[in-house]
Amino acid sequence: MRVMLFLVCMSLINANVDAGDAAQSRTQFISSSWESGQKMFYSDTFWRGGDCASTVDLGDGRVLWLFADSYIGVKPPYLRDQCCVKMIRNCMGIQTGYDPSSADFTVYWPGTKDSPEAFFPTEDTSWFWPGNGIRIDDILIVFLMRVCDSDSGLGFVTCGHAAFLISDIDGDPGEWSISRFKLPDNPFGIMLGAATIFEPPYLYAFSVKEPGNHAIYVARWHVDSLLMGSAEAIEWWTGDSSAWVFESKLTVEPAVLFPDGATELSVVYDARIDQYLAIQTVGWGAADVMMRTAPALTGPWSALQLVYEPPEKNKPGVIIYAAKAHPELIGAGLIITYNTNAPMEMIIQDTTLYYPRLIRVDWSD
């Protein structure tokens, strides 16, 4: 087990002062891999790994996992081999019990045993990868990025955003009622819903310039308008005393919450240290798990701070990405995942790759 001890500067910042003038206090945390919790992801007979790995607390000990590209076993012995698996663009898992080291775990997708399909389909050749989701009353809202083929780069490019409204969520996902939820387009190239926080009466959507420089912005909706089925009354944080402005009244791009974010990240509130945390990876390939902190969701946000150095950094050809926090999970002060990927031949040989990797973070008193 890898254990890392850090001294982290946690910002104690008055919202009316500049971040550069902020007083700092130092606190300690310990981060480590969590192998006993990791075993949960290997327990589904047919799911042979996937990425994205966002979570939503469904209540009553149930946690929704949102996965992007996933390998589904379609032939015995259901190993992750090109003969025995098919890839689908998204699916979801249900964890029963908040502690991964003792929880049950089942992954769901539509289609047949021999021909699995994406849980969130598209009507054309593009596909959806999940962003984040939130439960509000009896409704689940899931934000997704639309992805299209590309002749350059990695062979794909984000080409929009989407959302689904889901009801009847106390049953199994196969029984859920799912409908498309129209998100407003914006002229700024900002993709909505990379991370979400619900602080009544508003749902806050942390959103990313993608494609682009991955700057992070924040928008919000009054929950009443969302539950009535409309996302048109969207407001953006503008960074001044007036703060929130309806998109229809914006004359310039909204304020950047913090630069150098990530397409996949999470923003959560941690009551133990009374701070908001933004968790992401930094670097391409051999990346690190990093975080920012802030006293309010609009900031000011601290500089990036190292949380965990994945051991996979030492494996040539492995890509590390998409670190996210999971505040509903128990077993440590905070649970974080990150994803790993590699060429198919490496994934076949090393079955620890292409599953979410669990990290435990414990704050010191």
Number of other CB atoms surrounding residue 275 within 10 Å: 21
- Of the candidates 207, 321, 334, 201, which has an alpha carbon nearest to the alpha carbon of residue 269? 334
pLDDT digits (tens, 9 = 90+) for 296-343: 999 999 999 999 999 999 999 999 999 999 999 999 999 999 999 999
Predicted local distance difference test score (pLDDT) of residue 316: 94
What stretch of H or E contains 31? strand 23-33
Average the pLDDT over 154-163 and give the result.
93
Is a pLDDT exceeding 80 seen at residue 18? no
Q: Which of 15-24, 85-94, 200-209 has the lowest mean pLDDT?
A: 15-24
Is a pLDDT exceeding 90 seen at residue 13? no
Q: Is 155 left (phi over 0), alpha (psi -120 to 50) or beta?
A: left
pLDDT digits (tens, 9 = 90+) for 244-303: 999 999 989 999 999 999 999 999 999 999 999 999 999 989 999 999 999 999 999 999
Query: What rounded mean pLDDT belongs to the chain?
Result: 90
Q: Which residues pair with 337 in a beta bridge?
A: 324, 358
Predicted local distance difference test score (pLDDT) of residue 27: 53
* Whole-number percent of the chain with pLDDT over 70: 92
Average the pLDDT over 129-156 and give the result.
94
**CB contact at 8 A, 346 and 43:** no
> Residue type at 52?
C
* CB-count exposure of residue 2 (10 Å: 0-12, 13-18, 19+): exposed
Alpha-carbon dihedral 119, 63, 362, 217, rounded to 10 degrees: 50
Based on DSSP, count helices (H) and strands (E) in the chain, helices before strands: 3, 23
* Whole-number percent of the chain with pLDDT over 90: 84
pLDDT digits (tens, 9 = 90+) for 112-123: 989 999 999 999
Average the pLDDT over 218-242 and give the result.
91
Residue 20 binned pLDDT confidence (cut-offs 50, 70, 90): very low
Helix (H, G, I), strand (E, B), or coil: what is residue 66?
Answer: strand
Average the pLDDT over 181-185 and give the result.
93
The model's pTM: 0.92
Residue 21 binned pLDDT confidence (cut-offs 50, 70, 90): very low
How far is residue 131's CA from residue 191's CA, in Å, rounded to a whole number?
10
Question: Which residues contact residue 212 at a Cβ distance below 8 angstroms, ignoring those fewer than 6 apart?
Answer: 189
Beta 91-96 vs 202-209: how paired, if at all?
unpaired
Average the pLDDT over 23-45 and give the result.
83
Is a pLDDT exceeding 80 seen at residue 141? yes
**CB contact at 8 A, 121 and 108:** no
Residue 241 binned pLDDT confidence (cut-offs 50, 70, 90): low
Q: Which pair of structure tokens corresponds to residue 308?
A: 């965990």
Is a pLDDT exceeding 80 seen at residue 140? yes
**CB contact at 8 A, 29 and 363:** yes
**Domain 3-8+26-47+124-363: top CATH class:** mainly beta
pLDDT digits (tens, 9 = 90+) for 52-69: 999 999 999 999 999 999
Q: Which pair of structure tokens corresponds to residue 307?
A: 């949380």
- Of the candidates 89, 154, 100, 98, which has an alpha carbon nearest to the alpha carbon of residue 124? 89
Is a pLDDT exceeding 90 seen at residue 31? yes
> Domain extents for the chain?
3-8+26-47+124-363
Is a pLDDT exceeding 60 seen at residue 12? no
